[in-house]
Amino acid sequence: MERRVFSNMRPRVETASVVVQPNPELDVLVTEIAELRPLPVVALRVLELAEGDRFSAHELAQTVSADQALTAKILRLSNSAYYGFPRRITTVRDAVVLLGFRAVRSATLASCVIEALPGGTVMDPAEAWRFSVSVGMLAEVLSRATREHTDEAFTAGVLHNIGRLAMDQHRPDDLRRCVEVAQTRGWTVAQAERQVLGYTDAEVGGALALHWNFPPNLADAVARHNLDVNALPDPKSLAAFVIRARLFARASGLTDGVEPLSVEPASEEWNVPPLSRSLAQTGGIAGIAERVAAFVESAVARA
């Protein structure tokens, strides 16, 4: 059974295979990031809205519409090639009705976090976000195939790398050093971070997600995305979906610009129904790449 013990903002997570020890330096970093880059109030409100509540769709439209810049961004995204909707969408209410509660909620959260973490000096922000959105779409492919985690799969995939993006802005020298150590020694970046810093960017992301009041399930997926899926206590967890999606993205030649291209072949599960059918319905990797480009262009652009 999993046990969580909180050290300031950061959880200590224990399973049979992983123990994350409390780290004061990590707590300081997360507090610094949260103070300098607070999540917009609209995002916090959207996080509270759950699909199925009687008034959730109406409240979502009202919440987003109250922020003019965000409204412009959501409408730009709604009318982009990402959704390919044949009719022009002119209001957030129409977007919620025509695209669905989940789609608009996920796009709103992603847009808010992209705004909060616009880029640093080590990573190319557009490349990093393209990779993250690709992982989000692949996690969504998994959720459709299995009918599990349909509310959070896309969001978890899109946001899984926020710790690395945050480090790029607030500890770029540390991140650069870890990347160099990883390249020199043939390690993963996470292995280098553990050796050099005592914590990983995944743990930074998980702690930041908790600080921003993300649901525990979502914060857990962010914190564990760099683990071996076999080390997780639940192979069907949201974290497992993100890991599987991330591995397939890397095996398909995608990268966030920090991790090298993967030499591991894609898991055979993606070639077998219902997962292969779900992937084909999305247009395969080529179709995903086109939609991802449209999403990032719309979400990163200034209103």
Q: Walk me through the domains of the chain, giving residue ranges and CATH numbers.
A: 38-116 (no CATH), 118-303 (1.10.3210.10)
Residue type, 79: N
Q: 13 in helix, strand or coil?
A: strand
Q: What are the tens digits of pLDDT across the range 62-97?
A: 999 999 999 999 999 999 999 999 999 999 999 999
What is the per-residue pLDDT for 155?
Answer: 95
Q: Is the pTM of this model over 0.85?
A: yes
Distances (CA, A) of 45 to 64, 111, 200: 9, 14, 29
What percent of the chain shows pLDDT beyond 90?
77
If pLDDT is split at 50, 70 and 90, which confidence band does 4 have?
very low
If pLDDT is split at 50, 70 and 90, which confidence band does 21 have?
low
Q: Which residue has the tokens 């997600």?
A: 209
Rounded CA gap, 303 and 301, in Å? 6
Closest CA to 288 of 135, 153, 85, 177: 135
If pLDDT is split at 50, 70 and 90, which confidence band does 208 have?
very high
Residue 152 makes CB contacts below 8 A (sequence gap 6+) with 215, 217, 218, 221, 238
DSSP for residue 229: G
Q: Which residue has the tokens 């005592």?
A: 198
Q: Which residue has the tokens 């150590």?
A: 181
Count of C-beta atoms within a 10 Å radius of residue 8: 15
If pLDDT is split at 50, 70 and 90, which confidence band does 302 have?
low
Half-sphere exposure of 68 (CA within 13 A, CB side): 1
What is the mean predicted confidence (pLDDT) over 14-21? Answer: 39
- H/E element holding 76? helix 68-78
- H/E element holding 44? helix 41-48
Closest CA to 73 of 42, 37, 36: 42
DSSP for residue 122: S
- 64 φψ region: left (φ > 0), alpha (ψ -120 to 50), beta (else): alpha
Q: Pick the residue with more confidence: 51 or 31?
A: 31
